[in-house]
Chains A and B, each alone.
Chain A
């Protein structure tokens, strides 16, 4: 429904009359319901406007909005009274019940809030409100955090003037200071030591255990077991020689054949427990 040229102040009153005309003219219930919902939408808009203006800094705008809300609330109460019979006749319809409930709730909320806004802004706050206006550190903190610096600056803008503090300079003191400053010697880094020629040292020769083992293998002149070739008294030396032997067979060819037999050789004279029975043959 469009509402042409109706002053915002009279919107709900207008919708009230429209509902009465629609009922008298025999318009359907749904038409009347839509008009009623339009009136509810006006109140919902009032609620949104009023709560939005609470963040605004203008007391006048807030007061004007609250006054308008109060008129709308009174008009809605009148509407609900005048159409009480109509609503009662449609108690069986959920959409009518919901709209009726919504209207009553908005009337209650807006009536309370607008009354408190008007009372507060008009300076007729009750004792409870006055008690609430006592200032503490938290109030100051919240207030400062909620304001832009421009707003805060206006609190003291024309009250706070910088000190005159015209600096008086004695020419004698100034030139003495200049003389003292210009006599200072800039610090310099210490001189570098003279360069020296470094002598090159050849790197320390490190024997490759695999090459040593390979040479040992090649010098064998009779079949030798792995135990004879690798096992020594200490575990560390034995395992090092065994690893070197494996390395030799993985890196070089043309080495003596290895012949394997089932079973183990168990040792008593060293830290090695047992070794597989393998012999290094001399036929290459």
Chain B
């Protein structure tokens, strides 16, 4: 007999396979589990075939006496952003039919976004850490979204991605126009 207390305890230690935990599809049961998680700042989320507990707010490490057991450094966050753009934002915004296949990106493609870092550091150390933390899955030379990447607040993340990518594309276009105008001047 599975109880909400046991389930909540398991969710702070790992993820639960959605297919094998039909109890969590029951509103009352899930509500009780959610209440218990809520008491320690977590929320119950279903994502990519998994049930998992997600911190409601990213913990800040500037509180006196607090030392996070797990923290994401800047490079890891940057790789999460890159994975989000490739695996979540692009499939939604590229108007492409991926034949229903799960979005994925080649490790080689991810590395191109980080030319200043060694491929071993990004592909093994950083991606390895993110795989252990549940943000990415690796199968052969391709990367797939892990359950924690799927739980990013996509409205907020999409908005930021759109602003950043839009600004990038706009400037790239304007620089191209400036170059064309200069070329026209040189031709005259």
Chain A interface residues toward B at CB < 8 A: 50-51, 54-55, 57, 59, 105, 108-109, 112-113, 116-117, 120-121, 125, 129, 132-137, 139-147, 149-168
From B156, which residue of chain A is reached at the shortest CB distance? A159
Q: What does the 1/0 interface line of B42-65 toward A look like (CB < 8 Å)?
A: 100000000011110111000000
Count of CB-CB pairs between chains A and B under 8 Å: 170
From B173, which residue of chain A is reached at the shortest CB distance? A132
From B168, which residue of chain A is reached at the shortest CB distance? A143
- 8 new A-B contacts, CB < 8 A, other than A117-B174, A165-B70, are A132-B173, A134-B95, A150-B74, A150-B78, A152-B78, A153-B81, A160-B80, A161-B55
> 5 closest pairs, A vs B, by CB?
A144-B113, A153-B77, A152-B78, A149-B78, A161-B55
List the B side residues contacting A159 at CB < 8 Å.
58, 152-153, 156-157
B3 → chain A closest CB, angstroms = 16
Some 18 contacts from A to B, beta carbons below 8 A apart, are A51-B175, A116-B174, A132-B169, A135-B94, A142-B168, A142-B172, A143-B164, A147-B164, A151-B164, A155-B157, A155-B164, A156-B77, A156-B152, A160-B152, A163-B70, A163-B133, A164-B55, A165-B14
Known: A117-B174, A160-B135. A134 touches B82 (CB 8 A): no
Pick the contact of A113 from B80, B113, B177 — CB < 8 Å?
Answer: B177
From A135, which residue of chain B is reached at the shortest CB distance? B93
Tell whether B16 is near chain A: CB-to-CB under 8 Å.
Answer: no
From A155, which residue of chain B is reached at the shortest CB distance? B81
Known: A159-B156, A165-B14. A140 touches B90 (CB 8 A): yes
Q: Which residues, 146 to 179 on B, are CB-close (under 8 Å) to A?
A: 148, 152-153, 156-157, 160-161, 164-175, 177-178
Q: What bracket does the count of chain B residues touching chain A fall in?
A: 35 or more
Could you tell me the distance between the alpha carbons of A22 and B94 in the complex, rounded to whole angstroms? Answer: 61
From B169, which residue of chain A is reached at the shortest CB distance? A133
List the B side residues contacting A136 at CB < 8 Å.
90, 94
A99 → chain B closest CB, angstroms = 15
List the A side residues contacting B133 at CB < 8 Å.
162-163, 165
Q: What does the 1/0 interface line of B174-188 toward A look like (CB < 8 Å)?
A: 110110011011001
Of A145, A146, A164, the most chain B CB neighbours within 10 A belong to: A164
List the B side residues contacting A165 at CB < 8 Å.
12-14, 70, 133-134
List the A side residues contacting B85 at CB < 8 Å.
140, 143-144
List the B side residues contacting A51 at CB < 8 Å.
175, 178
Known: A135-B90, A140-B90. A162 touches B112 (CB 8 A): no
List the A side residues contacting B165 at CB < 8 Å.
135, 139-140, 143
